[in-house]
Amino acid sequence: MSSCDLKNAVVLIAGGAKNLGGLLSRDFASRGANIVVHYHSQAAQQQAEATVQAVQDLGREAFAIQADLTAPATVQRVFEQARDRFGGVDVAVNTAGMVLRKPIVDTTEADYDTMFDINAKAAYFFIKEAGRQLNDNGKIITIVTSLLAAFTDGYSTYAGSKSPVEHFTRAAAKEFAARGISVTAVGPGPMDTPFFYGQETPERVGFHKSQAMGNQLTQIEDIAPIVRFLATEGWWITGQTIFANGGYTTR
């Protein structure tokens, strides 16, 4: 795979069945890539199958893998299955995550463990396996959150469990550089998906909108081109967290 070409590249997308991950699956396929669509639960199987079909309708190859990425051995298996099917992986994108808005005093140990397992542990071992199994000159991209640059209430475990990914990204960028592998993170603002609305009241949704250009939430269509850029022309960017949020937060 060249630095700027997705033709015949293999792209593995964690959380690739729906929302941003589903859009990325179709977007990469439209530019000539073959896609591995990871999904977490049985509830997403139908969407994963629909995304695989959409990729195939674009003339590219795809298959879906159901897996719990909080188990490191399972993450390893996902990459191995991708390599067995396509002979290698060029781009690994992790869109998987879980959001929780809850006051600290109401947060249980189970809440904490679940959030850190999904948002930090899974992300760490995804980056690890990508570093082990990606082809040379590969790209690793993780979706984090613009709340990393916010001073707000309620999201202690969500932003807190995403924050280590910045440090994982920096370390991996240095460690994988000799093989030409770039490692980056993208922090969208609150995205206009079901992932967000279940945590917020209508009044707070209105406030979040008011903090960005155009009085709107981040659209998945705003983020997909940035991820694609990092996997192609933006290959020289590495070790960075890029906030893409219409001015919602900055630092």
CB 2 within 8 A of CB 83: no
Q: How far is CA 158 from CA 74, 114, 189, in A?
A: 23, 10, 13
CB neighbourhood size of 57 (10 A) = 11
Q: Which amino acid type is present at position 102? A: K
Q: Residue 3 has what pLDDT? A: 56
Residue 4, amino acid:
C
Write the DSSP symbol of residue 178: G
Is residue 2's pLDDT more than 70?
A: no
Inform me whether the pLDDT recorded for 73 exceeds 90.
Answer: yes
pLDDT at 198: 78
Q: Transcribe 139-187 into DSSP letters.
A: EEEEE--GGGG---SS-HHHHHHHHHHHHHHHHHHHHHGGGT-EEEEEE
CA end-to-end span of the chain: 34
Task: Please name each of the domains of the chain with its CATH number.
Answer: 10-188+223-242 (3.40.50.720)
CA 143 to CA 70: how far, in whole Å?
A: 16
The model's pTM = 0.95
Q: Are 12 and 38 in contact (CB under 8 A)?
A: yes
Q: Show the tokens assigned to 137.
A: 């000159």
DSSP letter string, 210-234 = HTSGGG-PBPHHHHHHHHHHHHTGG
Q: What is the pLDDT of residues 207-249, one digit of tens each?
A: 999 999 999 999 999 999 999 999 999 999 999 999 999 999 9
